[in-house]
Amino acid sequence: MIAEKHAFDLDVNQTLVKFCREAVLFGKRCQASVGGTSLQFAMHIGGQNKAGFALQLQPTQTSCFSPLMNERKTTGLPDKIYGDILNRIVEGEYKEGERLPTEHALAERFATSRPTVREALARLRADGIIMTRHGSGTTVARRPDPDVRRFAPLETLSDIRRCYEFRIVTEAGAAEQAALKADADDIAAIQHAWDQLERIIETQGIGAKDDFMFHLAVARASKNPFFITVMSFIEEQILFSMNLSRNLSLVKTVARQRLVQAEHMAVLEAIRRKDAPGAASAMRVHLENALERMFGS
């Protein structure tokens, strides 16, 4: 039994070492950036100090999107088909509830095989943009917010959705633990981050970094270094999606910005009253709503 436990502990340690090595490599890869359209995200990381990360928005420049969001090569035919269909949906050529052309018709349009078309459709289906029912064909399930194109390339939407899906799981757990373990200093830090966001609304700023600091303060309040580490490793991807989300809110109405802020307050209040299920639910609802606001027009 002792030998088995020793072997198990050794295996766990080796796994953790491997995880840390991969994380370091991932962190280094995340320091690159690639050009796109309509908004520049200037990322600067000072040495190994993640707190030194700064984000500058320059609306008159071309955009620079997160490395992870751009790791998928977009030169393949399935990607081109994906982008073409998605753009037609955003433009309103294919409306919600309407059927898409058949696989055969799409294959003819792009001079390719049906398996290649299926690959593109599978990606759109995974993104929740289209849905397929036996006997009914493939229809448009939802139309992403048309304003998305002003701030990010359409082909990044897949990775943005997956980033949110990952955050829904991890950050809801962090909020739950924060409600159980947060002390007075943690509550003060979350409140301070919320106050900063309030000032951002008043000055009509973007506030992506401030938004990130709110979520990071919740993770720190969990007293679990794994939540904090995960947030740090995907900071650039989170900031990218937050920039997009907050830019969309800024071009909508102040009421929408206030709604987002109210969702943040719901998380804070649940943590303050040590309501673990309520904190998890509030964080989950907030991130699910953020995803819905982006992918629904």
Tell me, what's the pLDDT at 292? 86
Would the pTM count as exceeding 0.85? no
3-state SS string for 167-191: HHHHHHHHHHHHHHHCCHHHHHHHH
* CATH architecture classification, 73-143: Orthogonal Bundle (1.10)
For tokens 């753009």, name the residue. 87
pLDDT at 243: 86
Task: Please tell me the predicted confidence (pLDDT) of residue 167.
Answer: 96
Could you read off the pLDDT of 186-201 as tens digits, one per residue? 999 999 999 999 999 8
Task: Point out the residues of the chain with pLDDT beneath 50.
Answer: 1-19, 22-24, 26-68, 70-74, 297
Q: What pLDDT was estimated at residue 136?
A: 78
Structural domain spans, the chain: 73-143, 154-295
Residue type, 269: E
In the chain the first and final C-alpha atoms are separated, in Å, by: 59
Helices within 114-234 (DSSP H only): 114-126, 157-181, 184-202, 208-221, 225-233
Give the pLDDT score at 293.
85
Instruction: Report pLDDT for 296.
Output: 64
Residues 94 and 100 sit within 8 Å (Cβ to Cβ): yes
For 154-295, CATH gives: 1.20.120.530
pLDDT of residue 16: 45
* pLDDT for the residue 134: 81
Same fold, 73-143 and 154-295: no
pLDDT at res. 75:
60
